Structure 1
Amino acid sequence: MEQYGMTAEEYRGYTVDGTLKTLKEIDTAKDKVLTILALPSMIKNAAKTVKDVANGVPFDTSIGFATGNEERRQAKNAAGDVVEEAAKEITKEITESNTVRVGRWMSQTEYDQMVKSGKVQMSKDNKTHVANPADINAFGKQAPKGSLYVEFDVSTDTMSAGGTKGWSIINGPGSLIDRFRKKKGLPPITEMPDVKNIEIKGSK
């Protein structure tokens, strides 16, 4: 094995170590694959066990316990509470992840209507322009004297780009986006979105 720069004995040791290392890697990879393949069955069995416990089906006391009527009721209630809390957390996360803080120069009348209704007020063209992210300098020059600069949190579900960086459009019923959604068979926009955390940040 001189072409490899080692004696025959060294070469045999080298190839044996390499082969053992390769076999070990193959075995590890095989275990990972088998574990992945077994996951669906493991999850299914775990779910069945939980369901059986809630329904009062006894099983081996070495790994669990047989539930009576009271225990079964408690198990069902606990399961229901867990599902309800999980649903609340998921809904909260989705809602918060779809919410942005925007800003808009508006009249006192629009502000009062927004506070009273808890919703974005739609302009005559069935949409409302906002600064996204909130920026008091956006639209400031165009805002007439007596306007209020208001910031609020709103869902992005009916929001689209405003044509200029930092501007967005909140689309309402009858807007171009609403008509496009209907044409594509998507759910229509039925109302302007809710607003939260309304704050007056400036005025002219």
Structure 2
Amino acid sequence: MSTMQLGDDILGGRDHWVVRVTLATMFPPNERQLEAMADAADAHDMTVAARGPIVDDARDDAGMVFTAEVPADEIGQVPARALAIAQETCGYGIAMQVALVDLRICTAAVYEAEATRPDTPELLAATDVAELLGVSRQRVHQLHSERADFPAPYARLGSGPIWTRPAIEAFDKRWTRKPGRPARAVS
């Protein structure tokens, strides 16, 4: 099947698509490498961004993300272009360790909706966690200090720890509750 048939048959005849290519590297690109990639990507109507923070040590999220809006018949060329740009501009050491880790193809409308969606998770203070679990705020702090399977706080603020809703919901699903109050120690 040719790329043109792919565009007509599978992609529903849409004429332009946003293609996002995520490449992983052992070390993040430095500023000079990123600028060189941006110049090379610009010649192909692509953008590039660092995948993780620009630092000098190895990271799990090191690499870069290339994005292009292309006609359906050019979708297959975008990953190869991105890989070639990364290898040509990063030098021998990084070029040998570039790997495609994600490929996303979507409409421009979907891409824009995803790009403008807030990426901060829903956060819960102890009072919110207590309400979700059906316990007191004090019991939340007790669970946090006594149970190894209770989620670690997402962050600690001046007002206390905060958690993400998905972490607390996952805990709630696996938590086996015992009815009644725990027995007091007899002295």
Question: Which has the larger Rg?
Answer: 1
Question: TM over 0.5: same fold?
Answer: no
TM-score, scaled to structure 1: 0.25
Task: Return the structure number with greater helix share.
Answer: 1
Q: Select the structure with the greater relative contact order (CA < 8 A; seq sep ≥ 6).
A: 2
TM-score, scaled to structure 2: 0.26
